[in-house]
Amino acid sequence: MKIKLAFLASLLVLSATAFAQVSTTVKESAKAVGETAKQAGDNTKAAVSSEPDKTIDKTKAAVHKASAKHHAKAAKAAAKNIGKDSDK
């Protein structure tokens, strides 16, 4: 969690020079963190549930995990474009 906070803090420092790219990065990072939290909630729910609710919660957790991975990848791609000229 500290790594994520450090990552977000460093992105906020860079926002003065490249707001558009950083804005995208921050949004995608926040979405990834949100999806990870939803995944943890669904996994916890599945641990105390009985069938068929357990299967449903495990499936929801898997969907949240995939979504978080997608948003993290998008944030990483946006972070690579910070400071680059968009005309090229």
Do the domain assignments include residue 85? no
Q: Determine the pLDDT at residue 18.
A: 57
Whole-angstrom distance, CA of residue 13 vs CA of residue 38: 28
Show the domain range for 41. Answer: 2-80
Domain total of the chain: 1
Along the 88 residues of the chain, how does pLDDT read in single tens digits?
A: 677 777 777 766 655 555 666 677 778 888 888 888 888 888 888 888 787 888 888 888 889 889 989 988 988 888 887 766 554 4
Do the domain assignments include residue 35? yes
Do the domain assignments include residue 64? yes
User: What DSSP state is assigned to residue 84?
Assistant: S
Q: Determine the pLDDT at residue 52.
A: 81
Which has the closest alpha carbon to 19: 78, 77, 87? 78
Q: Determine the pLDDT at residue 88.
A: 46
Q: Determine the pLDDT at residue 50.
A: 80
Do the domain assignments include residue 86? no
Which has the closest alpha carbon to 17: 88, 84, 80? 84
Do the domain assignments include residue 23? yes
Do the domain assignments include residue 74? yes
Start-end of H helices in 1-88:
2-14, 19-48, 53-80
Do the domain assignments include residue 53? yes
